[in-house]
Structure 1
Amino acid sequence: MTRLFNDPAAFADEMIEGFAASHSHWVRRVSGGVARNTESTPDTVALVIGGGSGHYPAFAGLVGQGLAHGAAMGNLFASPSSQQIYTVAKAANNGRGVLLGYGNYAGDVLHFNQAQERLRAEGIDCRSVAVTDDISSAPVAEHSKRRGIAGDLTVFKVAAAAAEAGYSLDAVTEIGERANHRTRSFGVAFTGCTLPGADTPLFTVPEGRMAVGMGIHGEPGIDETDIPTADELAELMVEKLLAEVPAGIDLKSSPTPVRVVPILNGLGSVKYEELFVVYRRVAQLLDRAGLQVVDPQVGELVTSFDMAGTSLTLFWVDEELEALWAAPCDAPAFRRGSVTAAVLSPEHSSLSPATELDIPDTTPESQAAAPHILAALTAAEAVVITNADELGRIDAVAGDGDHGIGMERGVRAAVIAATDAVARGAGAGTTLHMAADAWADKAGGTSGALWGLALRAVGDAVGNAVKPNANAVATGVVNAAAAIMRFGKAKPGDKTLIDVLVPFGDALTAEAGTQQSITQAWGAAAVIAQQAADNTAQLVPLMGRARPHAEKSLGTPDAGAVSMALIINAVHATLTHGASPKENP
């Protein structure tokens, strides 16, 4: 378990501060993460990588000459927010465009895509590569749905080397995509990991058993088996990976041995000596298969706190990819060859100072409604905090167990932002917009992105001109659902918060059409929302980290749907008599 921490909520920030202080030769802290502390070649592509904290040396340990130009660092196991990614990319930009690299998780996809759109809107050419190397998380026919695990390293390394060599953004992107296509990984775990301040691990494995096909965020494996010997584990992993050779590679007809980079990755608690014993057999099996091993890597490269587990990655190189893989680099956690010493960046403030946003003009009617929005958010905060542990428990059945933590971070930030908005005389729309941005930025992860979209959509609908009524709020809720489905790609039946938000929005619209007050309309629609949340127990997840473990979640409601219903009911209480119910899911 994680033993050394102060306030668990401050762990990620304090970790980044300490990392930057101890590796100042390579990195400097910037708003949202870290960037190179050395001068990069002007007019070259910048590679900005990122993901949740808790995976060191990914992602910050891969920032340096010949590797990434910056890393956006989210909270523990939560994707960085679009604001974090944007600010790191701005700090890292060398003038020839930015390539964003990240693992293929719903929250990362949402936030990195939003940051990409924002950068493009400012005239910065930006592309993305989502790593999809985990063969356990989806069949080969659905390769685009696979998770990114230790294969992050191969994709980031060769893309960075191409950027360092002066390739165009198109060419760097193609290199990253080709590397992703040629990378496959398979992992196992003997125990789950425990986050700072938590009493129990995110998942458990029975004594003497091994989880097969687990993720790197505390997601349980897709299967279990008895713990094998080191040789048997090597045979299992090699067998799984050789059963899926990437398209375009023919082991039988190649005139020369096919070349492959093997990466045996420790997830946190398996010791290096154990990994060497396993790799001994991996090397024998790859040689028996007629493969030419190139620059094998054994060690901790993408971890998961104290998880006891390991994964094997095979990177099937061609001539160009091999040369880029072997190119010199110098980062805190990954070094190859000899790089020309780079000049340290000039002294400057590494953290962007907070800027106070202007408050748009509003009317007295809209301004008078803003405190009611703050009261609703405060009620949401109370109910989320009360139920955070239970929301985490529900999420851990088939996911990574961090939903309660993420919701708590987001709603706290939203309340702080809304409090500031009200104090400065903001209208209803602005109050919701400021709360939305704060929620998305501080929570990160999938829920942070989605709640940010939702609150902003409602803010757009109510505006700053008139007192919000039932029709305006209903329009905002419907637009919120549409925005989430557009960005998150979820639809009703996928076992997400959409299964609550869509019927709630439809019911609210119907009730508002009968000229009822917002209190009456919301109350009637809240009944529908609660029933919809309960009904998700009969669904299997088709989106997000829970999707590979779909059957495990049958009989348990979706955590995002439950938290949505809790908040809807809490808001109704503020509309009726100002109470903040703290009922359990």
Structure 2
Amino acid sequence: MSYVLNDPADFADESVIGFVAAHGTLVRRVSGGVARAQATPSGQVAIVIGGGSGHYPAFAGLVGAGLAHGAAMGNVFASPSAQQIYSVAKSVATDAGVLLSYGNYAGDVLNFDQAEKRLRDEGIPCRTVRVTDDIYSAASAEKSKRRGIAGDLAVFRAASWAAEQGISLDDVAEIAARANDRTRSIGVAFSGCTLPGASEPLFTVPAGHMAVGMGIHGEPGISVVPLPTARELAAVLVGGLLGEVPDGVAVDGAHAAVILNGLGAVKSEELFVIYATVIELLAEAGVTIVEPEVGEYATSFEMAGVSLTLFWLDDELARAWASPAYTPAYRKGAVETSAADAVADAVQDTAVDAEVIPAASPDSVEIGAVTLAIIDAIRDMIDRDVDELGRLDAIAGDGDHGIGMQRGARAGAAAARAAVDAGAGAGTVLCRAGDAWADKAGGTSGALWGAALRAAGERLGDEIRPEAGDVAEAVDAARAAIQGYGKASVGDKTMVDALVPFAEGLTARVAAGTPLAQAWVAAAADATSAAEATSALLPRMGRARPHMEKSLGTPDPGAISLARAMTVAGLVLADDSSTEKD
């Protein structure tokens, strides 16, 4: 558990403030994360990495000469938002372009892809390489679905070295992708970890046992086995990795970099005990180890666990791995930097309440106030149910759904309040709320809720007094946005399982002439039934997918939160006299 904190909601931001203060000669704070203290040299591709907080030294600790140019920092165990990623990338980009690299998690993919599109739309060349090193997170036939763990370091090192050579963005991306293709990792855990402010760990491991295949966000292991000796553990790790060698690699005579990573509570002396057997077993297999790294490189708060990574080298990747670097948490060789180097200007977020509010009709302004009341009700519901939503998510996921929804709902409500106070219409209120929700929540649900609110707001606009049919169409636009971005269908065990019945039920009832408030309440009941029915489904998407059996019998937290949000929204509509005219 975290012993040192103020408000858990501020933990990630306060950690970044202290980190930058401690390493001010190496890094600077920029909107959305951190960047090198020195500007990116002209003509050099900028490497931007990132992910959720809670994994130090990934990702902020790997920013510096010879490694990343910038890191987008999300909240604890949550992807940075598209706005954060975009802002960090803008702060370090040159004409040579930007390479984005990160662990392959659904929320990160969604937000980094949105940021990449925005950068490209502005004329900034951009490519992406996702890290997929964890062999236990998906079968070898589905490597593209694997998540990234401590193998991030190998890929980031290769990409950063390539960028330092002054080569093109395409060539940098090729080297980074090759590094990813030649990186494999396995992890085990002896105990779970606890989010700051939480009273219970995300998962537990029975005494005297270990979970095999855990994830750095607290995803449970694939299996639980009796606790082995250090020698037996090393054999499990090495044997698993030698059992899946990249194409074109002959083990006997190969050269490999080794990363033995502690996840938080397993300290250096214990890692050295394991490594003594790792090096012995690899030598027996004919592998030459190149510059091993033993320590903490991707942690998970106080999780007791370790991971082993093999980075199978070719001549070019070997040069990348051995190249000098100097960052707050990773240092190798000697790196020359000049204190006189220019510092790039940080890109600052534009405050929502400082933006010009579009003109709105009196009718739309009136409905904007109702919209605020709905968002406030959703916020209050999330505040009440945050622990339960986190518990549901922890059964097969990473346990952050409750706190992520809380951050998003609070930010959305604050932005909606500012818009209403400035005289905004319903469409603008929804759009501002959606943008703030996505930015502060991060993660998959944050991005999807943000996209949904914005899509609904764009459909309603600021001129008309929405009739029931307009509201139904706005809800369907939100559904289309969520399915378009998230790619989920009914039956995948996601929020879509509740959203589609809600949207369809609302549309059908409104078309039949049912008043809006009554139709909404009935559709919310449809959503609730559908959300509860997800207990019988196996997840086909997201972090719960590798642990699908664990979620059987438990409803999807995203579907539950969506259904509850629509339920409290219906109560607001039923109580509000202004909707009686619709």
Please tell me the TM-score bracket, short chain as reference.
Answer: over 0.9
Tell me the CA shift for residue 498 of structure 1.
0.5
Amino acid at match of 1:190: F
**Bigger Cα displacement from structure 2, 241-250 vs 45-54:** 241-250
Tell me the CA shift for residue 470 of structure 1.
2.1
In structure 2, the residue matched to 1:507 is: 505
Give the one of 267, 282, 302 matched to 2:278: 282
The 1:402–1:353 alpha-carbon spacing in structure 2 relative to 1, beyond 3 Å, is: closer
Tell me the CA shift for residue 174 of structure 1.
0.7
Q: Is 1:39 aligned with 2:35?
A: no
In structure 1, the residue matched to 2:318 is: 322
In structure 2, the residue matched to 1:144 is: 144
Amino acid at match of 1:280: A
Structure 2 counterparts to residues 184-199 of structure 1, below 5 A: 184-199=184-199
Amino acid at match of 1:417: A
Amino acid at match of 1:106: A
Tell me the CA shift for residue 353 of structure 1.
6.3
In structure 1, the residue matched to 2:230 is: 230
**Bigger Cα displacement from structure 2, 38-47 vs 406-415:** 38-47
Q: SS state of the match for residue 191, structure 1? A: coil
Amino acid at match of 2:308: L
CA distance in 1, matches of 2:359, 2:56: 46
**Bigger Cα displacement from structure 2, 343-352 vs 363-372:** 343-352
Instruction: Give the conservation status (yes or no) of the 8 Å contact 1:217–1:304.
Output: yes
Structure 2 counterparts to residues 40-119 of structure 1, below 5 A: 40-119=40-119
In structure 2, the residue matched to 1:541 is: 539
Amino acid at match of 2:289: V
In structure 1, the residue matched to 2:562 is: 564
- For structure 1, the residue ranges without an aligned partner over 5 or more in a row are 580-585
Instruction: Give the conservation status (yes or no) of the 8 Å contact 2:193–2:300.
Output: yes
Q: SS state of the match for residue 190, structure 2? A: strand
Tell me the CA shift for residue 132 of structure 1.
0.6
Tell me the CA shift for residue 346 of structure 1.
4.6
Tell me the CA shift for residue 95 of structure 1.
2.1
Tell me the CA shift for residue 350 of structure 1.
5.2
CA distance in 1, matches of 2:254, 2:340: 41
Structure 2 counterparts to residues 198-213 of structure 1, below 5 A: 198-213=198-213
Amino acid at match of 2:204: T
In structure 1, the residue matched to 2:221 is: 221
Amino acid at match of 1:574: V
CA offset digits 1:143-184 (Å, max 9, x no partner) = 111110001000011101100110100001111111111100
In structure 2, the residue matched to 1:552 is: 550
- For structure 2, the residue ranges without an aligned partner over 5 or more in a row are 578-582
Q: Is 1:362 aligned with 2:327?
A: no
Structure 2 counterparts to residues 110-509 of structure 1, below 5 A: 110-251=110-251, 257-343=253-339, 346=342, 352=348, 354-355=350-351, 356-509=354-507
CA distance in 2, matches of 1:282, 1:250: 18
Tell me the CA shift for residue 129 of structure 1.
1.0
In structure 2, the residue matched to 1:582 is: none
CA distance in 1, matches of 2:340, 2:483: 45
Aligned alpha-carbon RMSD (Å): 1.4
Instruction: Give the conservation status (yes or no) of the 8 Å contact 2:88–2:347.
Output: no
Instruction: Give the conservation status (yes or no) of the 8 Å contact 1:39–1:343.
Output: no
Instruction: Give the conservation status (yes or no) of the 8 Å contact 1:388–1:404.
Output: yes
Tell me the CA shift for residue 285 of structure 1.
0.6
The 1:48–1:11 alpha-carbon spacing in structure 2 relative to 1, beyond 3 Å, is: same
Q: Is 1:523 aligned with 2:500?
A: no
CA distance in 2, matches of 1:65, 1:150: 20
What TM-score, normalized to structure 2? 0.97
Paired residue total: 575
Instruction: Give the conservation status (yes or no) of the 8 Å contact 1:37–1:344.
Output: no
What TM-score, normalized to structure 1? 0.96
Tell me the CA shift for residue 274 of structure 1.
0.3
CA distance in 2, matches of 1:341, 1:365: 60
Tell me the CA shift for residue 363 of structure 1.
1.4
Amino acid at match of 2:221: G
Instruction: Give the conservation status (yes or no) of the 8 Å contact 2:91–2:344.
Output: no
CA distance in 1, matches of 2:338, 2:180: 29
CA offset digits 1:336-378 (Å, max 9, x no partner) = 2111223355578757264422111221111111000000001
Q: SS state of the match for residue 221, structure 1? A: coil
CA offset digits 1:48-101 (Å, max 9, x no partner) = 000000000000000001110000000000000000001000001122100111
Give the one of 538, 554, 573 matched to 1:575: 573
The 1:394–1:500 alpha-carbon spacing in structure 2 relative to 1, beyond 3 Å, is: same
Instruction: Give the conservation status (yes or no) of the 8 Å contact 1:477–1:501.
Output: no
Tell me the CA shift for residue 481 of structure 1.
2.1
Instruction: Give the conservation status (yes or no) of the 8 Å contact 1:537–1:555.
Output: yes
Amino acid at match of 1:365: D
